[in-house]
Amino acid sequence: MSLLDEFKERESNRNSEQEYWRSVEQLVDTPEYEEMLIREFPEGADSPPANFSRRRFLALMGASISLAGFSGCRWPKEEIRAFAHRPEGLVPGVPRYYATSFDINGHINGIVATSYDGRPIKIEGNEVHPAGMGSTDAWAQASVLQLYDPDRSRKIAHRTGNQTVHPGWAQFQKSLQGDLAALWEGGGAGLVVLTEKSSSPSLRDLRDRLLASYPKARWTEYEPVSWDAMREGAKIAFGAPYRVHSDFTKASVVVALDDDLFGYHPTSLKNARDIMQGRGGSGENMNRLYAVEPVHSITGSMADHRLPLRASEIEAFTHALASELAKKGVPIASAIKGKLKTDGTHVPAEFIATMAEDLANHRGRSVVTAGYRQSASVHALVNAINTALGNLDQTVLLTRDPEGERPSHAQAIADLTADMNAGRVKVLAMLGGNPVYDAPADLDFGAALAKVPTSIHLSLYDDETSQKCTWHLPQAHYLESWNDARSWDGTVSTVQPLIDTLYEGKTNLEVVAMMLGEQPFSGFEIVRRTFRSMAGPVIDFEKGWRRALHEGIVENTALPTARTALNAAAVAGALHGGSHDEGYEVLFTHDARVFDGRFANSGWLQEMPDPMTKVTWDNTANMSPASAEELGVKTGDIVSVTVEGKSLSIPVYVMPGHASRSVSIALGYGRTAAGHVGDGVGANAYALRTTKTGYIAHGGQIKGTGAKAKLATTQDHYLIDDIGMSGYDKRYSAIVREGQFADYKKNGKNAFHQDHHPPLVSLWKEPDFEGTAWGMSVDLSKCTGCGTCVIACVAENNIPVVGKDEVRRGREMQWLRIDRYFHGDKENPTAIHQPLHCQQCENAPCEQVCPVGATQHNQEGLNDMVYNRCIGTRYCSNNCPYKVRRFNYFNNQDPVTPIEKMVYNPNVTVRSRGVMEKCTWCVQRINRVKIDAKNHKRPIRDGEIIPACAQACPTRAIEFGDLTDDKSAVAKKHKSKRAYHLLAELNVQPRNVFLARLKNPHPALTESTNGHHHG
Amino acid sequence: MGTITVDRDDPIKGKPLVEAHHDFGSVTDAVCSVVEKPPITKAWWISFFIAGSGLMLLLAMIAYLFWTGIGVWGVNNPVGWGFAIVNFVFWVGIGHAGTLISAILFLFRQQWRTSINRFAEAMTIFAVICALVFPGIHVGRVWFAWWMFPLPYQQMAWPQFRSPLLWDVFAVGTYFTVSLLFWYMGLIPDLATIRDRATSGIRRFAYGLFSLGWRGSNRQWHVYERAYLLLAALATPLVLSVHSVVSFDFAVANLPGWHTTIFPPYFVAGAIFSGFAMVVFLAVPARELYGLKSIITMRHLESMNKIILATGSMVGYAYAIEFFVAWYSGNIYEQFAFQNRAFGPYWWAYWTMASCNVFIPQVYWFKKMRRSIPVMMVVAFFVNVGMWFERFVITVTSLHRDFLPGSWGFYMPTWVDICTLIGSFGLFFTLFLLFIRFLPMVAIAEIKGVLPQAHAGHGHEGGEH
Residue of A nearest to B406 (CA): A819
| Cβ-based contacts of A893 with chain B (< 8 Å) | none
CA separation for the pair A782, A272 (Å, rounded): 8
Highest mean predicted confidence (pLDDT) among B31-35, B93-97, B387-391: B387-391
pLDDT for the residue B461: 41
Mean pLDDT value of segment A952-969: 91
Looking at per-residue pLDDT, the higher value among A227 and A77 belongs to A227
CA separation for the pair A278, A274 (Å, rounded): 7
Q: Identify each DSSP E strand in A570-645 by its residue range.
A: 584-589, 615-616, 621-623, 637-643
pLDDT for the residue B87: 94
Question: Nearest CA to A832 among A739, A767, A894, A901?
Answer: A739
Residues 818-837 of A with CB under 8 A from B: 819-821, 834, 836
Judge whether B139 is closer than 8 Å to chain A, CB to CB: yes
Judge whether B169 is closer than 8 Å to chain A, CB to CB: yes
A809–B74: do the CB atoms touch at under 8 Å? yes
In DSSP terms, A307 is beta-bridged to A292
pLDDT for the residue A563: 87
Contact between A711 and A807 under an 8 Å Cβ cutoff? The reply is no
pLDDT for the residue A577: 67
Alpha helix positions (H), B252-297: 263-289
3-state secondary structure A252-269: CEEEEECCCCCCCCCCHH
| Cβ-based contacts of B78 with chain A (< 8 Å) | 810, 883
Q: For residue A892, give every residue at least 6 positions away whose Cβ sits within 8 Å of its Cβ, in sequence order, or none.
A: A800, A801, A802, A813, A911, A913
Residue of B nearest to A867 (CA): B141
Cis peptide preceding A520, ω within 30 of 0:
yes
Please tell me the CATH superfamily of domain B24-140+159-456, with its number. Formate dehydrogenase/DMSO reductase domain (1.20.1630.10)
Using the predicted structure, report yes or no on whether residue B12 has a pLDDT greater than 90. no
Using the predicted structure, report yes or no on whether residue A876 has a pLDDT greater than 70. yes
Residues 908-927 of A with CB under 8 A from B: 912-916
Distance of CA A554 to the CA centre of its chain: 24
Looking at per-residue pLDDT, the higher value among A292 and A348 belongs to A292
| Cβ-based contacts of A730 with chain B (< 8 Å) | 332, 336
Task: State the pTM of this model.
Answer: 0.87
| Cβ-based contacts of A891 with chain B (< 8 Å) | 69
Distances (CA, A) of A249 to A132, A268, A696, A860, A950: 15, 14, 32, 38, 21
Residues in chain B: 465
Judge whether B150 is closer than 8 Å to chain A, CB to CB: no
Mean pLDDT value of segment A314-321: 89
Judge whether B151 is closer than 8 Å to chain A, CB to CB: no
B410–A810: do the CB atoms touch at under 8 Å? yes
Which of A101-110, A223-232, A513-522, A871-880 has the least mean pLDDT? Answer: A513-522
Using the predicted structure, report yes or no on whether residue B34 has a pLDDT greater than 90. no
| Cβ-based contacts of B76 with chain A (< 8 Å) | 809-811, 889
Mean pLDDT value of segment A21-37: 57
Residue of A nearest to B398 (CA): A878
pLDDT for the residue A27: 52
| Cβ-based contacts of B402 with chain A (< 8 Å) | 881, 883
Distances (CA, A) of B440 to A1011, B127, B187: 74, 18, 8
Judge whether A730 is closer than 8 Å to chain B, CB to CB: yes
Instruction: Give the distance from residue A91's alpha carbon to the nearest chain B alpha carbon, in angstroms.
Output: 33
B160–A889: do the CB atoms touch at under 8 Å? no
Using the predicted structure, report yes or no on whether residue A615 has a pLDDT greater than 70. yes
Instruction: Give the distance from residue A121's alpha carbon to the nearest chain B alpha carbon, in angstroms.
Output: 28
Mean pLDDT value of segment B41-56: 91
Judge whether B350 is closer than 8 Å to chain A, CB to CB: no
Residues in chain A: 1015
Residue of A nearest to B344 (CA): A723
Judge whether B170 is closer than 8 Å to chain A, CB to CB: no
Most distant CA pair in chain A: distance in Å? Answer: 111
pLDDT for the residue A970: 93
pLDDT for the residue A430: 93
pLDDT for the residue A32: 60
Using the predicted structure, report yes or no on whether residue A462 has a pLDDT greater than 60. yes
Burial class of residue A756 (count of CB atoms within 10 Å of its CB; 0-12, 13-18, 19+): exposed
Which of A223-237, A681-695, B124-138, B286-300 has the least mean pLDDT? Answer: B286-300
pLDDT for the residue A76: 46
Question: Nearest CA to A405 among A265, A591, A241?
Answer: A241
Judge whether B343 is closer than 8 Å to chain A, CB to CB: yes
pLDDT for the residue A949: 93
Using the predicted structure, report yes or no on whether residue A1008 has a pLDDT greater than 70. no
Burial class of residue A55 (count of CB atoms within 10 Å of its CB; 0-12, 13-18, 19+): exposed
Contact between A852 and A836 under an 8 Å Cβ cutoff? The reply is no
Question: A157-225+408-536 with A722-761+768-1004: one CATH topology?
Answer: no
CA separation for the pair A336, A388 (Å, rounded): 11
Contact between B14 and B465 under an 8 Å Cβ cutoff? The reply is no
Using the predicted structure, report yes or no on whether residue B415 has a pLDDT greater than 90. yes
Highest mean predicted confidence (pLDDT) among A5-9, A689-693, A778-782: A778-782
pLDDT for the residue A1011: 39
Sketch the domain layout of chain A as residue ranges.
3-38, 157-225+408-536, 228-400, 584-713, 722-761+768-1004
pLDDT for the residue B437: 84
Judge whether B167 is closer than 8 Å to chain A, CB to CB: no
Query: Fold for domain A228-400?
Result: Dimethylsulfoxide Reductase; domain 2 (3.40.228)
B140–A875: do the CB atoms touch at under 8 Å? no
Question: Nearest CA to A226 among A485, A474, A595, A618?
Answer: A595
Instruction: Say which DSSP state A469 is in.
Output: S
| pLDDT tens digits, A147-176 | 999 999 999 999 988 888 998 888 898 898
A887–B70: do the CB atoms touch at under 8 Å? yes
Which of A686-695, A888-897, A1001-1010 has the least mean pLDDT? Answer: A1001-1010
CA separation for the pair A1010, A59 (Å, rounded): 85
Judge whether A139 is closer than 8 Å to chain B, CB to CB: no
Looking at per-residue pLDDT, the higher value among B445 and A95 belongs to A95
Using the predicted structure, report yes or no on whether residue B1 has a pLDDT greater than 50. no
Q: For residue B9, give every residue at least 6 positions away whose Cβ sits within 8 Å of its Cβ, in sequence order, or none.
A: none
Mean pLDDT value of segment A906-925: 92
pLDDT for the residue A43: 60
ipTM of this complex prediction, to 2 decimal places = 0.90
Residue of A nearest to B251 (CA): A879
Q: Percentage of residues in chain A with pLDDT exceeding 90?
A: 51
Mean of all residue pLDDT scores within chain B: 85
Which residue type is seen at A219? W
CA separation for the pair B61, A599 (Å, rounded): 39
Using the predicted structure, report yes or no on whether residue A566 has a pLDDT greater than 90. no
* Residue of A716, A766, A807, A809 to mutate when probing chain B, most B C-beta within 10 A: A809
Contact between A841 and A989 under an 8 Å Cβ cutoff? The reply is yes
Confidence of residue A580 (pLDDT cuts 50, 70, 90): low
3-state secondary structure A13-45: HCCCCCCCCCCHHHHHCCHHHHHHHHCCCCCCC
B70–A914: do the CB atoms touch at under 8 Å? yes
Mean pLDDT value of segment A277-302: 88
Using the predicted structure, report yes or no on whether residue A188 has a pLDDT greater than 90. no
Alpha helix positions (H), B355-401: 367-370, 373-392, 398-400
Q: Among B141, B159, B160, whose Cβ lies nearest the Cβ of A914?
A: B141
Using the predicted structure, report yes or no on whether residue A461 has a pLDDT greater than 60. yes
Judge whether A889 is closer than 8 Å to chain B, CB to CB: yes
CATH class of the domain at A584-713: mainly beta
| pLDDT tens digits, B203-244 | 889 888 998 888 888 999 999 989 888 888 888 888 888 889
Question: Nearest CA to A147 among A478, A400, A559?
Answer: A478
Q: Percentage of residues in chain B with pLDDT exceeding 70?
A: 91
Question: Nearest CA to B392 among B145, B69, B86?
Answer: B86
Span between the terminal Cα atoms of chain B, in Å: 13
Percent of chain B as helix, strand, coil, to the nearest 5:
75, 0, 25
CA separation for the pair A513, A518 (Å, rounded): 6
| pLDDT tens digits, A533-558 | 888 777 788 888 888 899 999 888 88
Using the predicted structure, report yes or no on whether residue A330 has a pLDDT greater than 90. no
Q: Beta strand A712-713 with A615-616: parallel, antiparallel or unpaired?
A: antiparallel
Highest mean predicted confidence (pLDDT) among A209-218, B55-64, B231-240: B55-64
Per-residue burial over A133-170, b if 16 or more Cβ lie within 10 Å, else e, is bbbbbbbbbbbbbbbbbebbbebbbbbeeeeeeeeebe
Alpha helix positions (H), B217-260: 218-251
Which of A615-624, A870-879, B11-20, B79-88 has the least mean pLDDT? Answer: B11-20
Contact between A220 and A197 under an 8 Å Cβ cutoff? The reply is no
Question: Of 3.20.20.80, 3.30.70.20, 3.40.50.261, 3.40.50.720, which CATH number belongs to A722-761+768-1004?
Answer: 3.30.70.20
Contact between A469 and A159 under an 8 Å Cβ cutoff? The reply is yes
Mean pLDDT value of segment A918-927: 93
| Cβ-based contacts of B169 with chain A (< 8 Å) | 851
Mean of all residue pLDDT scores within chain A: 86
Which residue type is seen at A68? A
Judge whether A756 is closer than 8 Å to chain B, CB to CB: no
A717–B163: do the CB atoms touch at under 8 Å? no
Alpha-carbon Rg for chain A, nearest whole angstrom, is 31
Q: Among B70, B343, B404, whose Cβ lies nearest the Cβ of A889?
A: B70
Residues 264-323 of B with CB under 8 A from A: none
CATH of domain A157-225+408-536: 3.40.50.740
Cis peptide preceding A560, ω within 30 of 0:
no
- DSSP reduced 3-state for A883: coil
Render A413-467 in DSSP notation, one character per residue. Answer: HHHHHHHHHTT--SEEEEES--HHHHS-GGG-HHHHHTT-SEEEEEESS--HHHH
Confidence of residue A51 (pLDDT cuts 50, 70, 90): low
CA separation for the pair A133, B202 (Å, rounded): 87
pLDDT for the residue A727: 85
Confidence of residue A815 (pLDDT cuts 50, 70, 90): very high
CA separation for the pair A422, A416 (Å, rounded): 10
